[in-house]
Structure 1
């Protein structure tokens, strides 16, 4: 089997508890840009004002175009000195055996140029550019005529534009009537605008080849010989035998199914039940301990060697500006963990090699040299309409892709973030009309229109994700469009109880009071259906997003989510009442918590939470005893008496009443701070504040709030967020979302 297998990453390091369960790819979705502007109402009544409606919980359980103004672009380039091209020295060659992969697995890029594969947004964009072209041509032609001719030409021009717009509306109607199309993941296509002119980088860094350790596992209590490929996969499982994953039937079954082909039919190992991985586990534990006990000098040397090897991959040069690259490391092989009861947990993540990777780089830039002899990149592209530097198919789900982008602190990412939040801010100019329209359609005689209205209401009021239809081998997570009858229960007189697994298999359990017409409509949608039937059988994410883009350009469920998260934070922060910095920060965290609850950003209670609270409680008791002792000493000092002996029976020195009063004030402040910290810590034990802060809350709201209340921004944003949101730091204190 050696010629059939690919060697994998060495498993001697300490990173078996890393973030393998995080999503492995950015899903690529078709974007359809439809032009509309049917409302200029300026009513932006915040969702936060109606939080009791949307957040009455009975029990809670566990890339955009780079089109910034020229001034902004110039400033961003001037702020960073021009950097010479990156060094493209040939890296050290590492020989990796061509084995242990999916047998005969090849990934081919579809070269079909059929127009059906062109994103609808691009087709509509071409229609828009045609309109603009006609206008420009007519304007040019009219410049040489008199005023009468100009007026006549303008009239003809308007008629021509109207005809073209009518043609575009026909295209839009055709799109909207494509009722059978389901959302699907597609291979990355070109973007919708030039993002860069020149791009240089050094590609990606691969994990080192596997080094066999030679420790034999036991089968039926007897040592067993394994090839390096077989041993590597066995080691992947062995290091996890004391985790909850190794106790899950699905995890074990998937591991066994993927390991068997590498063992072969004639191998002595036939049954998983007779396998004993303990010797390998013990070897791994010793290796961890050995690394832990290394001297500080040795650890420092290893760290410096690692940084030196990675240095050239950490940077790219975009339009002459040196920018940091995000995750430039190819993911090492291992066993997939997933979240919740993911159907693919335990499956083997095979080694990614150069022939799996597509590189994107400037046309005149040197192509990164392939670091593995006998290998070459799958493809080299020169697409300046996208911002990714490399991508490859996910080894677990070949419908998903793993990308390498510039770091969050890069100018491109900063511009993308700013545009994202500006898009969400634009929604306030449309939101009143949108709500008025979907409210009117609650009682529509058209069942499709009625379902779209109810779904839009739920996305707006509850910040639900749109949701995609899942294949059998994908985690059965749910969004608005993929809700089943069994996920929503009617509770009289007009409440709905939602119970389903959301993104990352996190349970969404919420009971909310809704509009009476929504309550009745949900009852109609459920009528005559079984528990596993679609609640919105006439709707999918493609149709919903087409509808949303028809009422506001670029509107999606995520824009709703970003808008509602940001407007909620902005509104709640207006009620900041704290007097001290500690109290003011607690007000912020409470507002952040409400946003996290709205977005269903939960986390399980950490194992150490109870112990941590007990330690804080003990410290609190000690401080209270100190305070009581100080107050006694103060009383005696005022009466001219010496202080009592301390708890250990030692005589305390005499102190003036003024000195004791200062100590009492200081100790009281410590007690108040600790009491507040304990309350906040316990209050937030099941809420993940970070996700909404990173992805959904406009950072300018936080920066402006910090400036208004003189709170150091470092108290709210950690180092990585300060870098990510550098573009937001110059906002004025009176900024409102």
Structure 2
């Protein structure tokens, strides 16, 4: 395994020669909006060196407008052009001026919140889009940040084989440490993981090492594992000052590598660090678990940047695999990982324009589907009785995708985890029941592993004709045979695209998730509810979506202890309330007997105290209910990837619920476009765009064919709508 040079901590020179951008009043296709423009302040410091050994300057184009968003200001107000004004420094008691950084440390939460609302952002949603499919016109960045080279173990830390101390070569030792770090992990108890690791490890050994080390069971990683545990404990035991220093160093590195200049605007990069080498785990029982993920070097990486930009410099002694200037794609760098042969990309952060536009378009497409869903449903219901088997199979599959929010499912290779979706269901995954108590007649029982090896179990009553078709599809088939043997995802999506431009199976999942949230909030929200009750209502609506989408999670290991602590808090609160009730009763008696001003004041104080305690108790009880209901449900996945954020934001504005109660700071950055767009009157169903419904009669019996095109690689980087949460 090749090594890279070790990293250096970036230094600062304390000054910046960047100039404040002037404002362009003209608005063109490639120029940003000129609303609320504010010039960019001078930076406090500029890193001089980096882990990559790059030069310290990232060009910031002149005349770069930075747009200021003020949540309390109407976006249509007249633009104010501000002159170059130095940052105000307030004097301290000793007469010395305090820097902006010092002031930020002493700001009150309210002041920080206001500062966040007025944060300078690019209001890209107010600009025209490129009509030719371009992702950008100008792009400059520093390239990815590579992992430091491997540091060999100290001389007193040893690996043993068959009781004998063995000094391994550097490459073999590094791979050995990957396993040692996971020695107590459940993966090292799996035969597939161990077999794959040992086979790959031997590839990094010298001939003499391979001759000696032939059995993993005779390997003793104990001392090495203890060494890394000790290092972990040392990091945990670091002083506040040491941790602060590391945090500051990481922040300096992020300043350089964590941002790019995209169409003359500073945009955050998501995964700017190259993945470290290690052992592949995969999802579920992945057949390749335990294989070695090799170190990625600059020679493996393709850089994508603007033609007129400064090409990122690779680390000293290295060169890039290739440099491209492709503005039809959104990735900044790419490489191929060795385990599965997948292409990995450095992409922009979720708060960037390119990600925000994709989210916006995704939810607009789902809203568009609402306008023609009845027509599509009528079509597939008619096709249940088609004379052609493949048409019937397609119609039943769309019914499942629509009603149950199933993923379409893609064909899997033998070396991939055995997960399935609707189109790849096998006979063994489905059971039919004429009647199930509590469910109804014509019941289908599903049991299969879906995406990320999450088990999907469900018993659902279906239409009688769907049930009859399933009986027909399952005739004379073995358990391992496909249920929809005349259908695949390509054929299905090709048909759906004919129904509505851009429609695919994935859109149904987004549509039904957002529709469910909108309906649940409309039905369950009560105007007189307290703030805590409203949050519980929202989480219950979100929970309905998570259940629909099968977003499960393992019950946290600390759940029982956490619930025990919360129940103790509730009991303690009840005890305090009992005392407060006694105090109020006594104060009431004193007021009745004394009728003095002091007695009245004492009574009012006791009354207010009890009222606050009761409210506090109710809040705790709601938290316990919420925690119990969602212990095995992942609410975050649907909230971030399936639910139109404008539904939640409109609901917050309508019922005076602070948006930060629903979305974290990172999530608010991701959905800033929605926060700006959505008013209290926004409703998911009220789509005002153009809808074109097509005559689908010519599609009966359509074979479909392979319509897959080699498009924008960043589309393949985007997860299948949802990622792991919680």
Normalised by the size of structure 2, how large is the TM-score? 0.74
C-alpha distance in 2 between matches for 1:9 and 1:454 = 57
Structure 2 residues not aligned, in runs of 5+: 8-26, 55-130, 435-440, 592-598, 685-726
Corresponding position of 1:712: 658
Q: State which drifts further: 240-249 or 304-313.
A: 304-313
Match of 2:243 among 264, 287, 299: 299
In the TM superposition, 1:460-471 aligns within 5 A as: 460-471=402-413
Cα shift readout 1:351-395 (whole Å, capped 9, x = no counterpart): 11112212111112121111141x322222211111111111123
CA contact (8 A) 1:478 1:501 kept: yes
How far residue 203 of structure 1 moved from its aligned partner, in angstroms, is 1.0
What secondary structure sits across from 1:430 in the alignment? helix
Per-residue deviation at 1:6?
2.5
* Partner residue of 2:355 out of 413, 416, 425: 413
Distance 1:78 1:406 in 2: 24
Structure 1 residue 307: Cα displacement:
2.6
* Contact 1:444-1:450 at 8 Å conserved across structures: yes
Counterpart in 2 of 1:447?
389
- Alignment partner for residue 235 of structure 1, among 158, 161, 177? 177
Distance 1:91 1:629, change over 3 A: closer
1:479-519 per-position Cα deviation (integer Å, ceiling 9, x unaligned): 11111111111121311111111111111111111111111
Q: 1:286 to 1:252 in 2, by over 3 A?
A: same
Counterparts in 2 of 1:614 and 1:73: CA distance versus 1, 3 Å: farther
Q: 1:562 aligns to what?
A: 510
- C-alpha change, 1:447 and 1:297, in structure 2 (3 Å) is same
**1:699 aligns to 2:645 (yes or no):** yes
Distance 1:344 1:76 in 2: 52
Aligned to 1:617: 567
Aligned with 2:448: secondary structure?
A: strand
Residue aligned with 1:729, SS: helix
Aligned residues of 1:565 and 1:599 also touching (Cα < 8 A): yes
Of 396, 412, 415, 2:339 maps to 396
Match of 2:327 in 1: 384
Aligned match for 1:586, one of 536, 540, 547: 536
Structure possessing the higher relative contact order (Cα contacts under 8 Å, 6 or more residues apart): 1
On the 8 A contact 2:51/2:146 being kept in 1, the answer is: no
Partner deviation per Cα, 1:266-320 (whole Å, 9 max, x = no partner): 3222211111111011111111122222222222222222332342111111121
Match of 1:552 in 2: 500
Q: Is the 8 A contact 1:77 1:321 kept in 2?
A: no
Tell me what 1:127 maps to.
none
**What is the rounded CA distance, in whole Å, between the counterparts of 1:734 and 1:72 in structure 2?**
32
Where in structure 1 are there 5+ consecutive unaligned residues?
A: 12-68, 96-190, 642-652
Q: How does 1:175-574 map to 2 (within 5 A)?
A: 193-214=133-154, 215-267=157-209, 268-373=212-317, 375-398=318-341, 400-492=342-434, 493-574=441-522
Q: How far has the Cα of 1:265 moved from its partner?
A: 4.6
Whether 1:736 and 2:683 are equivalent positions in the alignment is: yes
SS in 1 for 2:446: strand
How many residues of Structure 1 are paired with residues of Structure 2 in the alignment? 569
CA contact (8 A) 2:4 2:297 kept: no
Offset at residue 637 of structure 1 (A): 3.8
| 1:675 has 2:625 as partner | no
Confirm or deny: 8 A CA contact 1:88 1:202 kept in the other structure. Answer: no
Task: Indicate if the aligned counterparts of 2:52 and 2:145 stay in contact, CA closer than 8 A.
Answer: no
Mapped to 2, the partners of 1:393 and 1:443 lie a distance apart of 47
Q: Which residue of 2 aligns with 1:660?
A: 606
> After the TM superposition, which residues 570-649 of structure 1 pair with which residues of structure 2 at under 5 Å, given as runs?
570-575=518-523, 576-577=525-526, 579-640=529-590
The structural deviation recorded for 1:693 is: 0.8
- How far, CA to CA, are the matches of 1:198 and 1:82 in structure 2? 19
SS at match of 2:147: coil
Q: Deviations over 1:41-80 (max 9, x none)?
A: xxxxxxxxxxxxxxxxxxxxxxxxxxxx978974289757
Residues 617 and 301 from structure 1, CA distance in 2 versus in 1: closer, same or farther, beyond 3 angstroms?
same
For the 8 Å contact 2:260–2:267, the answer to whether it is kept is: yes
CA spacing shift, 1:70–1:542, aligned 2, 3 Å: farther
Partner Cα distance (1:603, 1:232) in 2: 33
Contact 2:6 2:51 (8 Å CA) reproduced:
no
C-alpha distance in 1, partners of 2:375/2:584? 66
CA distance in structure 1 between the partners assigned to 2:443 and 2:416 by the alignment: 31
1:406–1:257: structure 2 CA closer, same or farther, 3 Å change rule? same
Deviation at 1:90, TM superposition (A): 7.7
For 1:661 and 1:70, the matched residues in 2 are separated by 63
> How much is the aligned-residue C-alpha RMSD, in angstroms?
2.8
Using a 3 Å threshold, how does the CA distance of structure 1 residues 697 and 687 change in structure 2: closer, same or farther? same
TM score, norm. by length of structure 1: 0.73
Change (3 A) 1:445 1:196: same
* Displacement after TM superposition at 1:323 (Å): 1.1
Stretch of structure 1 that moved more, 408-417 or 611-620: 408-417
What displacement does 1:234 show?
1.2
In 2, Cα distance between equivalents of 1:202 and 1:582: 46
Contact 1:354/1:372, CA 8 A, preserved across alignment: no
